[in-house]
Amino acid sequence: MTKFAQLIGTLCLLFAAGVSTAEQLMVAVASNFTATMRELSTAFTKESGHTLNISFGSSGKFYAQIIHGAPFQVFLSADQSKPEALIEAGFVAPTSRFTYALGALALWSPKTDLVDARGDVLSGGNYRKLAIANPLLAPYGAAAVDVLRHLNLEASTRSSWVTGENIAQTYQFVSTGNAELGFVSLSQIMDQGRLTSGSAWIVPKDLYRPIKQDAVLLKTSEHNAAAQEFMAFLRSTKAKYIIRSYGYLLAD
């Protein structure tokens, strides 16, 4: 066998080994993080060769699915309480938990002239329906109620509430016109630091409790190299840049 043939054979073996080590991870992701996660997934696959099979939905539903045996390997929650509960129940590698993003809340309407820069539209009453996520299930819904309480508007606006199961459904209510305005995640209406459409009030952080979003590695995948690689990627400079570009803040 010639040296050239040997070289080709070696390269083929190396390529095959690389392909064989590429894995597909099952990742559960809170719906508010949808757009950000899609971009992160593309970047991670390009960097590592691994692919992500992503399910988007409410953190509460993912918690229930995980304790009933759903085969997720990584869980990106919209809060801290679900990961904490999973740790206490023994489903998570405890030391894997970290805050990957701090959520930001916005009052938004697809109409360009409806929402003012201070949110005075809430008290002005120039709307019939106000969409919020279910405050009992979704941290963004709880944050919306915090804001209305701070502004002494909870009671006066309650009859106009349209409640979404999660923040994705809440956004849909507003974007389709079923509600004139609503409290959504800033990431849903922000792209590369700019408002994508309509009008919005970015709610000051002192009007609601911090929305700390935690990621955890499920215990069944504690020694899975690809899953560990993805958790490390979420902490990388590249991932942090993408996360910030969608309006999120980062933990210290």
Question: 91 and 119: one domain?
Answer: no
Q: Could you give the 3-state DSSP secondary structure of residue 130? A: strand
What integer pLDDT is reported at residue 180 of this predicted model? 97
**Residue 25 is assigned to a structural domain of this protein:** yes
What integer pLDDT is reported at residue 18 of this predicted model? 44
Tokens 């009859």 correspond to: 159
Question: 40 and 164: one domain?
Answer: no
What integer pLDDT is reported at residue 194 of this predicted model? 84
What integer pLDDT is reported at residue 133 of this predicted model? 94
243 neighbors 101 (Cβ within 8 angstroms): yes
Question: 15 and 136: one domain?
Answer: no
Specify the DSSP element, H or E, that contains 107: strand 105-109
**Residue 84 is assigned to a structural domain of this protein:** yes
What CA–CA distance (Å, rounded) separates 50 from 34?
19
What CA–CA distance (Å, rounded) separates 80 from 90?
16
75 neighbors 28 (Cβ within 8 angstroms): yes
Question: 193 and 143: one domain?
Answer: yes
Instruction: Return averaged pLDDT per consecutive 10 residues of the chain, 252 residues in all.
Output: 49 44 92 93 97 93 95 96 96 94 96 95 93 91 96 96 93 96 93 87 95 96 94 97 92 77
**Residue 235 is assigned to a structural domain of this protein:** yes
Question: 217 and 97: one domain?
Answer: yes
Last residue of a domain, one of 202, 221, 237: 202
Number of domains in the chain: 2
Question: 112 and 178: one domain?
Answer: yes
203 neighbors 105 (Cβ within 8 angstroms): yes
Q: What is the distance in angstroms between the CA of the first residue and the CA of the last residue of the chain? A: 58
**Residue 207 is assigned to a structural domain of this protein:** no
Question: 165 and 224: one domain?
Answer: no
Give the β-pairing of 161-164 and 74-76: unpaired
**Residue 110 is assigned to a structural domain of this protein:** yes
**Residue 251 is assigned to a structural domain of this protein:** no
Q: Residue by residue, what is the 3-state secondary structure of the chain?
A: CCHHHHHHHHHHHHHHHHHHHCCEEEEEEEHHHHHHHHHHHHHHHHHHCCEEEEEEECHHHHHHHHHCCCCCCEEECCCCHHHHHHHHCCCECHHHCEEEEEECEEEEECCCCCCCCCCCHHHHCCCCCEEEECCCCCHHHHHHHHHHHHCCCHHHHHHHEEEECCHHHHHHHHHCCCCCEEEEEHHHCEECCEECCCEEEECCHHHCCCEEEEEEEEHHHCCCHHHHHHHHHHCCHHHHHHHHHCCCECCC
Question: 161 and 172: one domain?
Answer: yes
Q: Which range of residues forms the domain containing residue 75?
A: 3-102+212-245
**Residue 92 is assigned to a structural domain of this protein:** yes
CATH code where residue 32 lies: 3.40.190.10
Question: 127 and 178: one domain?
Answer: yes
Question: 54 and 175: one domain?
Answer: no
**Residue 252 is assigned to a structural domain of this protein:** no
Question: 31 and 111: one domain?
Answer: no
Which pTM value belongs to this model? 0.80
Question: 117 and 41: one domain?
Answer: no
